Amino acid sequence: MNIIKKILFLFVVLITITNIAQAKHIIGGEVYYDCLGIDSSSSTPMVSFEITFNMYRDCFGGGAGFDAPAAFGLYTGSGDNWSYSTQFSSSPQEVVNLELNDDPCVEEPEDVCVERATYVFTMTVPVIQESYLLAYQRCCRNNTIVNIVDPGEQGAVFQVEISALAQSICNDSPTFDNFPPIVICAESPLVFDHAASDNEGHTLVYEFCTPITSGGTLGSNDNPGDPTSCEGVTPSPVNCTPTYDNVTFKQPNFSFDEPLGDGSNTSINNFSGLLTSTPLLTGQHVIGVCVREFLDGQLLSEVRRDFQFNVEVCQVLIKADVGNDEVIKEQEFLIRSCGSNTVQFENLSEDKAFIDEYKWEFDIAGGVVSSSEENPAIEFPGVGDYFGQLVINPNSAGCQDTAKLFIEIRPELRADFSTVYDTCVAGPVQFTDETFTGAGVITSWEYDLNLEDTVGIADHAYEFDQPGLKNVRLAVEDINKCVDDTIIQISYFPIPAQLVIQPSTFVGCLPADIKFNNLSTPISDEYDILWDFGDTESDTSISPTHTYENIGIYSVGLEITSPVGCYISDFYPFLIQVLESPVADFSYTPDVVSNTNPVVSITDESLDAISWQYIINDEDSYFQPNITYTFQDTGLQKIDQIVIHPSGCPDTLTQYIDVVPVSSVFMPNAFSPNGDGKNDTFKPKGNFFGVDEYSLAIFNRWGQLVFETTDPTEGWNGKIFNSGSDSATGVYVYKLNYIGPRNKIVSEDGFATIVR
């Protein structure tokens, strides 16, 4: 099966970096070792390993080329404790461009290029009781990586651990068989065999692991510094020793074991190495995969692969697809025909603009029946199983696609049922299955009862909750998995067995608003309904509200006629009693109430009342017809009067009184600051209730400011700003400003005369 795919890039896949010294181009890498033998001729056995390091870079990234030579540090220890031992230098033995995809139906993008450099060197070291760790450090990764923090500022570490046991038995590390696809399609299943080979037959365990980082941008043209420092582009193996930091994934959407993002369901089989995912988020994603090698439960080595997936939006250009009854698996379809030997095939293949030819082939009675029509109708000999296929572009030199077809010809299945019910009396409808099947056995029934309910029994009784035209659908399936359905409309409009009503009250106060709840079932708006309220008024609603305007006792009648003419009625004598009500009313004095005059006299003016209650501001209650009340605050004040009639019926009246805030500020025209304790200061007099943003300023006859204050209680004592020399006897100008109650702006100018 071949599928032509056109890669539609939504962004530049690999960013171009003009700074050639800052190699923002690393895509991935891995380190392997092969044991060449152990020399035991001396007192200290020596073991030799051939080291193979593959490094992958973006050859269009504009960064530095592969290091030649590259420096590999060798360390001894275990866990988190390592010591520097020595270092090795090696240059690439081979640099090759990788194929983006081995599928000839993939249109390769022109702006993506991946190079692999292979470094090979030999190291001979003593056999020790600790592990060796061989590591290569280099900056930097692509800026466009989306799943880790600050990717363009981080490098990568490619390392392999050779355990003491691996040294002693001259072990070879496992090697990954294939490099992952460079470009993968968003929202399409990914299945990649990430298995490794081990010639010695040891146990291999696969898992995701966090990629390692080391180095930084020091030493680049735009960030001068020591490139061999631990923050440099080529960290020194001597000074920059394990352990190294892990890259930081962007939480919460990414993690080391969900590197393609939440919802991608990325996983790797621990024993086969099969990697599966359905990536949803486009962009470049860093991934780490480790394979650990065990011998009798003891760890021999761990090989880490750090690589990068480019997730892009892909469009399928051609795909063989057929209308079907069942998808057996990818590109394999089952088509079932029940009761007809002729099958009309529905061709759903895409994209027609890239399809030149169709070829249908069917194996019938030992021969091949072919058709080149887009949607052929093929006649089969009779009941049985047949095989066929649809090939798109069968004679094209380009890509083709094929769909396998499995055809089942089965006996007829015809859904049918009958109903019996009383059209006027509410009750169950009896459903009886009358389905025909040539297969002899029906395996399932499902009645869809007008979206109200479903029943899976062939014959049954069902009572609808509501009347109406019921479109009942019966779907059946037989032993051959043939399905059929039919829809029958049932006119279900019975009348209620009895009328049931429930007034909101049986005793009301004039004027009486009474809700008549109609609890009779089944009824709907399609029924003719007539209420008689006993006061010459009527209504046709199901559950109306009626207002009685006169006192008295009333009988109520109800008639219901269904859309098919069924009729029922009932009469309810002396059902409603309406009692006389009082009329609440009161007045108050004075007409204007303020904080300076807060006392109000409330006088009852209600009619036909025998008891009274006043509630002021939903707090204070009084039970006399006339009251006097003193308000403690300004603004709107709520007064409710509730009165009761001798019948027990109440009435309520609510009024609001506006208690006006009043301030009375006035200025004197002279003062005598002679220290006799009488009229020694100049300041306003009166009521400062509700005064805000107050200011008083006093000027001499030349316009010079001699005093100012924002405190209404502070006056001018005749001295310059109350602390300087005495001001001369004479006339001064004052300016008074403030905001009074209810935001009234007051601005006043006047004269202040000093008398000594």
Does the pLDDT value for residue 489 go beyond 70? yes
Confidence class for position 431, pLDDT limits 50, 70, 90? very high
C-alpha dihedral (379, 385, 391, 394), degrees to nearest 10? -80
**Lowest-confidence pick of 8-22, 80-94, 263-277, 510-524:** 8-22
Model confidence pLDDT, tens digit, residues 189-227: 788 999 999 989 999 999 999 999 999 889 887 788 899
**Which tokens hold the place of 194?**
């990430």
Does the pLDDT value for residue 157 go beyond 90? yes
pLDDT at position 443, please? 96
CA 253 to chain CA centroid, nearest Å: 13
Does the pLDDT value for residue 399 go beyond 80? no
Confidence class for position 184, pLDDT limits 50, 70, 90? confident
Confidence class for position 146, pLDDT limits 50, 70, 90? very high
- Over residues 434-439, the mean pLDDT reads 95
Confidence class for position 9, pLDDT limits 50, 70, 90? very low
Phi-psi label, residue 598: left if phi above 0, alpha if psi -120 to 50, beta otherwise: alpha
Task: Give CA–CA dist 159/209, Å, rounded.
Answer: 13
Could you tell me the end-to-end alpha-carbon distance of the chain, in angstroms, rounded to an integer?
117
Give how far Cα 147 sits from Cα of 91, 258, 262, Å: 31, 10, 11
Task: Select from 615, 599, 528 the least CA-distant residue to 563.
Answer: 528
pLDDT at position 571, please? 96
pLDDT at position 11, please? 26
Q: Which segment, 233-247, 388-402, 683-697, is predicted with the most confidence on average? A: 233-247
Confidence class for position 451, pLDDT limits 50, 70, 90? confident
Task: Give CA–CA dist 212/650, Å, rounded.
Answer: 83
pLDDT at position 108, please? 52
- Over residues 597-615, the mean pLDDT reads 96
**Which tokens hold the place of 721?**
């700003």
DSSP string, 697-719: EEE-TTS-EEEEES-TT--B-SB
Does the pLDDT value for residue 4 go beyond 60? no
pTM: 0.47
- Over residues 25-46, the mean pLDDT reads 93
Q: Is 354 helix (H, G, I), strand (E, B) or coil?
A: helix
- Over residues 549-556, the mean pLDDT reads 96
- Over residues 304-322, the mean pLDDT reads 85
Confidence class for position 400, pLDDT limits 50, 70, 90? confident
DSSP 8-class letter at 286? E
- The backbone torsions φ and ψ at residue 345, rounded to the nearest 5 degrees and listed phi first, read -80, 140
CA 356 to chain CA centroid, nearest Å: 43
pLDDT at position 103, please? 46
pLDDT at position 13, please? 29
Give how far Cα 667 sits from Cα of 564, 673, 684, 720, 722, Å: 90, 16, 5, 20, 19
Residues 6+ apart with CB under 8 A from 548: 508, 510, 511, 512, 514, 533, 535, 554, 576, 578
pLDDT at position 107, please? 52
Task: Give CA–CA dist 684/474, Å, rounded.
Answer: 94
Confidence class for position 756, pLDDT limits 50, 70, 90? confident
**Which tokens hold the place of 447?**
């009645």
Does the pLDDT value for residue 18 go beyond 60? no
C-alpha dihedral (144, 149, 154, 155), degrees to nearest 10? -80
- Over residues 288-314, the mean pLDDT reads 91
**Which tokens hold the place of 175?**
């090697």
Task: Give CA–CA dist 445/698, Å, rounded.
Answer: 100
pLDDT at position 256, please? 94
- The backbone torsions φ and ψ at residue 741, rounded to the nearest 5 degrees and listed phi first, read -55, 145
Task: Give CA–CA dist 439/212, Å, rounded.
Answer: 65
Confidence class for position 16, pLDDT limits 50, 70, 90? very low
pLDDT at position 63, please? 65
CA 263 to chain CA centroid, nearest Å: 13
Q: Is 327 helix (H, G, I), strand (E, B) or coil?
A: strand
pLDDT at position 110, please? 62
Does the pLDDT value for residue 241 go beyond 60? yes
| Average pLDDT value over all residues in the chain | 90
**Which tokens hold the place of 428?**
């169950």
pLDDT at position 144, please? 86
Q: How large a percentage of the chain has pLDDT more than 90? A: 72
Give how far Cα 42 sits from Cα of 39, 46, 47, 234, 675, Å: 8, 8, 12, 37, 118
Confidence class for position 741, pLDDT limits 50, 70, 90? confident
Q: Compute the residue count for the chain.
A: 756
pLDDT at position 285, please? 94
Task: Select from 714, 707, 706, 718 the least CA-distant residue to 672.
Answer: 718
- Over residues 77-83, the mean pLDDT reads 94
pLDDT at position 189, please? 79
Q: How large a percentage of the chain has pLDDT more than 70? A: 94
Model confidence pLDDT, tens digit, residues 325-374: 999 998 899 999 999 999 999 999 988 888 889 999 999 988 999 999 99
Task: Give CA–CA dist 501/354, Å, rounded.
Answer: 71
pLDDT at position 62, please? 62
- The backbone torsions φ and ψ at residue 720, rounded to the nearest 5 degrees and listed phi first, read -65, 115
Q: Mind listing the domains of the chain with CATH numbers? A: 5-314 (no CATH), 326-410 (2.60.40.10), 413-492 (2.60.40.10), 501-579 (2.60.40.10), 586-660 (2.60.40.10), 664-754 (2.60.40)
Residues 6+ apart with CB under 8 A from 405: 322, 333, 335, 362, 387, 388, 389, 390
Residues 6+ apart with CB under 8 A from 61: 14, 15, 16, 17, 23, 24, 25, 142
**Which tokens hold the place of 2?**
């071949």
- Over residues 16-44, the mean pLDDT reads 74
